[in-house]
Amino acid sequence: KYHQTQEDIYLPVAHCIEGKTGHAMNKDVKEVFDQYDNKGITKEIKKLTFGANPNDWVKVIEELKKQDDFSKEIEFLGFCTDICVISNAMIVKAAFPEIKISADSKCMAGVTVEKHNAAIEVMKSCQINIL
């Protein structure tokens, strides 16, 4: 399906395709993710391209909001700051404008340092807290 997307046309480096080399997390990142995941506070959304389906985000967040310990804060981290992270953070911000959204700049990387920094500035402009 990836080869039928605009992402494949404009970013023709096949990446993050489930079951292919490069899809799995780096072992150090996976270790940290698993620490959070064991607490039941991480959620995975499988997506075809850089921005997940907004309906998938709504389902996940509505499920989280039912938990007693939901702090009304969501933190993003990952790759690629200037494509995937910002796209998904903005989708969530638009759907849930009153939930505090943060992004940890030390746990993200962009295509280039300049693009990473530009994405950080755009997220700040959209009231996303940068850690």
Instruction: Please write the tens of the pLDDT for every residue from 67-104.
Output: 766 667 888 877 788 888 899 999 999 998 988 999 98
Q: Is the overall model pTM greater than 0.85, yes or no?
A: no
As a whole number, mean pLDDT of residues 9-16 equals 68
Give the CA angle between residues 67, 40, 69 to the nearest 5°: 30
The two tokens of residue 113 are: 């340092």
Task: Give the Cα separation of 123 and 93 in Å (integer).
Answer: 10
Q: What is the pLDDT of residue 6?
A: 76
Least confident window among 30-34, 62-66, 98-102, 119-123: 30-34
- Spatial strand order of the sheet with 129-130 comes to 73-79, 100-109, 129-130
| Pairing mode of beta strands 73-79, 129-130 | unpaired
Whole-number pLDDT of residue 118: 96
- Quick check: 82 and 102 in contact, CB under 8 A? no
Encoded amino acid at 88, one letter: N
Task: Write out the two tokens for 101.
Answer: 């959204």
* Tens-digit pLDDT profile for residues 13-51: 666 667 776 666 667 767 777 776 666 666 666 666 677
